[in-house]
Each structure stands twice: as C-alpha cells, then as structure tokens.
C-alpha cells in the first residue's frame, strides 16, 4: 500500500484553470505565492465553491491575477 502523493497548483480563476504555479507541498506553494500555508489550505478547501484570491505582492512578478488553488493526486 503506497502513500498518496499530491501536487499543489495555483490555477487561473477562469473556465480553463491554466496552471500558474505547481509545487509538491502546500507550504512550498504558499512561499511561492507570498501567503501563509493556512491560506493555501483554506483556498483549496473552498476552491470547490469557486472562491479565488488576488495577491497583493509576492515573489512572483506580475502575479496580481486571480487564482484558485487545486490539490491533485499523482501516481507514486
């Protein structure tokens, strides 16, 4: 029995959901987005209701676009 693995994605908040950032953990994605890990986890949970957030600043230049957070299971 293998442990489930996930990728954490920030995707565009439109019907296409194009990936903006992909990381192995919620903490890594949070650092990339310039928000807390709790924020990323809450956004993923609420993402099923199509909620999104706009970044004010962060290490990603030009990343002031709306996005959603998705957690995707990958084969290990």
Supply 47's token pair. 């993402």
Number of domains in the chain: 1
Which tens digit of pLDDT belongs to each residue from 7-55?
999 988 888 989 989 999 999 999 988 888 998 898 888 875 444 555 5
Burial of 69 (0-12, 13-18, 19+ CB in 10 A): buried
Total-model pTM: 0.76
**Domain region containing 43:** 5-74
């Amino acid at each position: 029995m293998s442990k489930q693995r996930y990728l954490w994605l920030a995707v565009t908040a439109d019907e296409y959901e194009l990936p903006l950032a992909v990381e192995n953990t919620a903490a890594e994605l949070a650092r990339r987005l310039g928000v807390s890990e709790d924020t990323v986890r809450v956004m993923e949970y609420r993402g099923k209701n199509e909620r999104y957030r706009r970044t004010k600043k962060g290490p990603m230049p030009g990343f002031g676009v709306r996005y959603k957070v998705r957690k995707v299971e990958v084969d290990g």
